[in-house]
Amino acid sequence: MYDRRINPNEEPVLFGNTSALYESDMVMLDHKTGSYWMQFSGEALVGELAGQRLTALPSQTTTWALWLEQFPDSAVLSQETGYDRDYRYDPFTGLGERYNEGGDFIFPVSENGRDPRLDPGEVVLGAEHTDGKQYAWPIERIGDGVINDTIGDSRDVAVVVFSSAVGPTGAVYLADVNGQTLTFTFKDGAFIDDQTGSEWTLSGKATSGPLAGESLTPLPTRSSFWFSLITSFPDLVFYDPSDQ
């Protein structure tokens, strides 16, 4: 998910679908300049704005049930669009398994998409930080759990990844509340910070304990198949659970 303002002081831009693919990923166009944008990286590939990137925003790719559990008052777009389409049907169901079993991409991808650290169709969570780097965590392998990690040029920025096997779904937060750096564990189906014993939700809110009512600061994130993230950001910093 992106901020549609190409520059912070400008009006939001309307985007559309070119029906083209690049690295097996949708290519968008902006109706202001006609530039073509790679959907996953948010980078303009050709046109007047080539080389620019949209600003990524915190988001989740998850199930409707898990989203409602976190945000019960959410509004949702109507399915009454005037077009005959079943929005309950996911045309990409089973696509990850197909990539994992045979490595058979429907559309061409570069060699980066075959990075052997993960199967191409495994779901990963990517996050950005102000150092300009992309970080990645294999949430499909983690399932229900927590990752305490550090990012930044000096690896001195503490973050926490909350992961759920449902979806799978993940979110990345700065692990600092009121000047105190927290570490977390996953226990009895809940995210618990080790310093105060407060309980936190997947959405980064403390619901009980000394920190009840506090919220963690989310980082801009992308959830996708591994091949899509690694082709968009070949120099990403990867968290390998086997090294921990």
Contacts of 19 (CB under 8 A, 6+ apart): none
Mean pLDDT confidence for 135-163: 95
Q: Which of 57, 25, 64 is nearest to 226 (CA)?
A: 25
Q: Which pLDDT band, with edges at 50, 70 and 90, does 103 fall under?
A: low
- The more confidently predicted of residues 136 and 89 is 136
- pLDDT band, residue 97 (cuts 50/70/90): confident
Mean pLDDT of 84-103: 79
pLDDT band at 213 (very low <50, low <70, confident <90, very high): very high
Residue 139 and residue 161 in contact, taking contact as beta carbons nearer than 8 Å: yes
What number is the average pLDDT over the span 111-127?
92
**What is the arithmetic mean of pLDDT over 21-35?**
93
In 143-226, beta strands by DSSP E: 145-151, 157-164, 169-174, 176-177, 180-181, 184-187, 190-193, 199-200, 206-208, 217-218, 221-225
